[in-house]
Structure 1
Amino acid sequence: MGLPVIGLTTYREDASWGVWHQSADLLPAQYARAVEATGGVPLLLPPVATPDAAAAVVARLDGLVISGGADVDPERYGAPPHPRTAGWRPDRDAWETALLDAADAAGLPVLGVCRGMQLMAVHAGGELDQHTPDLVDHEEHSPGGDVFGTIPVATVPGSRVAGLVGTTLDVSCHHHQSVRSHPGFTASAHAADGTLEAMEAPGDRFCVAVQWHPETSADVGLLAGLLEAATAHAERRVSA
């Protein structure tokens, strides 16, 4: 068996480097480094509109990370946009939704990070709270700018997330939205203010999502769990 290949979804943004200023497919390098550090090979997945592209990609992956980024289009869960909801990317929403469809069909291990958790909830038929400070009356989940907030979370005893990261931990977060409902997933961690910080699908398949950013932390339990599941998925695929 070779090293497991982990797909990482990317932004598509106007970017500047050297003498260039143009549209670029990009992702903070912490994601790829975290995958490499836990024994995998990262593969960046920019938005693709080609029919059947998601199924073709998933067939070649051993695991998938739906990464952080802009707000999910509220039209996808039938809600008008909150004044603070902005910057959604229909192309990325559509691509990642197609990847999740294909991953579900293939039983591919999936980890959602921040926006990735929100998109996974919406993909399952859930809804989002579009501005969490309206509910909790503080900005600790997203202090603003390029600064991560640090909050304590408590995991649900017996959950997969608890088995990977322990009963409590301080996490790095940067989200102004949060998951209100999550059909088909069970809650697996909360912040002290009650905000849902992690969810997981029941059963044997690794399908986990967190509001925090595990790629920024020295604790790589979640990434290690994904890589272990990806290795097992690859072995099953080879033996089939």
Structure 2
Amino acid sequence: MKAPRIAIPEPTLNDTEYNERSWPQYAQAVEASGGIAVKIPLSALPAEVARLASSCEGVLLPGSGADVDPEKYGQERIPECGKADPAREAVDELLMQDAANLHKPIFGICYGLQTWNVWRGGSLMQHLQTGVNHAPGRTIVEAHRVSITEGSQLAGLAADGELAVNSSHHQAIDRPGDGLRVVARSTEDGVIEAVEGTGDQFVVAVQWHPERSFADDPASKALFDNFVQAAATWQPRPIRESVPESVAMESAQETK
């Protein structure tokens, strides 16, 4: 089976140190699972992003040091909300549109979960204030536990219905976007930790960072394995599926 190409945008436009530290972790996890990591530069013109996207069978939306612009989900920015990264948002939107149009598998991680949720019409909590520290950083391997919804794709990763996860975020989903269902929450404060798509497209997005624990944690490895496998077996939707049946029937009558 041909190794699938996975589009992974650079995490940020201007933080070179962050990019050099984090992007290779996503790429290494994808490649260890049998995929080919394709870097999408945030400085690329839209036509180049579209060309690269068209050559890929899946999209991985990585984390970022930025926050999604709250105007995109109808809120005014609060002081605790971090700066937006317009270049990252623009590239993400092109990749998400391509994936949505063609039903390509999508895997969102941390910021990637948030940007996908907002693009689907959902909203975010701009700054978490609970009894749980959701931002202890990348050096803490097990920050807290999450409960997994029975029957979800993630359920197969946890024998007892719970996972211990790392955590590096100060925002989280408030209202899930269209076509998304909540499949994991923090056991202590109920913060949404993962969503999946409700349709036949492979869509999994988690609030933690499985790329950091890929080498040592079976659940993290399984997340990447499942995503890359979905990309490897992806086929473009037939055109007839993107056209309402009534319109297709009218068109067929006109050609007789």
TM-score by length of 2: 0.81
Could you tell me which amino acid in structure 2 is paired with residue 35 of structure 1?
A: V
Q: Does 1:179 align with 2:173?
A: yes
Which moved further from structure 2: 174-183 or 163-172?
A: 163-172
1:152 to 137, 145, 152: 145
Distance 1:228 1:165 in 2: 19
Higher mean alpha-carbon deviation, 158-167 vs 32-41, is at: 158-167
Which one has the bigger helix percentage? 2
- The structure in which a higher percent of residues are strand is 1
Stretches (4+) displaced over 6 A: none
Which consecutive unaligned segments of at least 5 residues does structure 2 have? 240-256
For the residues of structure 1 that align with 2:51 and 2:175, how far apart are their CA atoms? 30
Secondary structure of 2:175's partner?
Answer: coil
Q: Which runs of 5+ in 1 are unaligned?
A: 17-23
Letter in 2 for 1:168: E
**Within 5 Å, which residues of 2 pair with 1:184-203?**
184-192=179-187, 193-203=189-199
* C-alpha distance in structure 1 between counterparts of 2:25 and 2:44, whole Å: 26
Please tell me the residue identity of whatever aligns with 1:44: K
Q: 1:137 aligns with which of 131, 140, 149?
A: 131
Q: Secondary structure at the match of 1:203?
A: coil
What is the rounded CA distance, in whole Å, between the counterparts of 1:14 and 1:96 in structure 2?
A: 17
Q: Structure 1 residues 35, 155: closer, same or farther in 2, change over 3 A? A: same
- Secondary structure at the aligned position of 1:12 is classed as coil
Q: Hey, what does 1:73 align to over in structure 2?
A: 69
Establish whether residue 43 from structure 1 lines up as the match of residue 44 from structure 2: no
Decide whether the 8 Å contact of 2:13 with 2:43 is kept in 1.
Answer: no
Q: Structure 2 CA distance, aligned partners of 1:47 and 1:67?
A: 13
Equivalenced residues, count = 226
1:19 is aligned to none
Match of 1:163 in 2: 156
- Structure 1 residues 63-87: Cα deviation after superposition (integer angstroms, max 9, x where no partner): 1110000111111112111211112
- CA drift of 1:131 comes to 0.5
Q: Aligned pair in 2 of structure 1 residues 74, 203: CA closer, same or farther (>3 Å)?
A: same
* Corresponding residue of 2:13: 12
For the 8 Å contact 1:58–1:108, the answer to whether it is kept is no
Read off the aligned partner of 1:162 and give its amino acid letter. Answer: A
**1:55, CA displacement in angstroms?**
3.5
Shift of 1:203: 2.5
Report the Cα distance in structure 2 between the residues aligned to 1:165 and 1:204, rounded to whole angstroms: 23
Q: What is aligned with 1:3? A: 3
Counterpart Cα distance in 1 of 2:136 and 2:107: 24
User: What is the aligned counterpart of 1:86 among 82, 88, 97?
Assistant: 82
State which structure, 1 or 2, has the greater radius of gyration over its C-alpha atoms.
Answer: 2
Q: Distance in 1 between matches of 2:77 and 2:44?
A: 25
TM-aligned CA distance change 1:137 to 1:114, over 3 Å: same
1:51 Cα deviation after fit: 3.6
CA contact (8 A) 1:71 1:115 kept: yes
**What one-letter code is carried by the residue in structure 2 that aligns with 1:3?**
A
Considering only aligned residues, what root-mean-square deviation do their CA atoms show, in Å? 2.2
One-letter amino acid matched to 2:9: T
1:225 aligns with 2:220: no
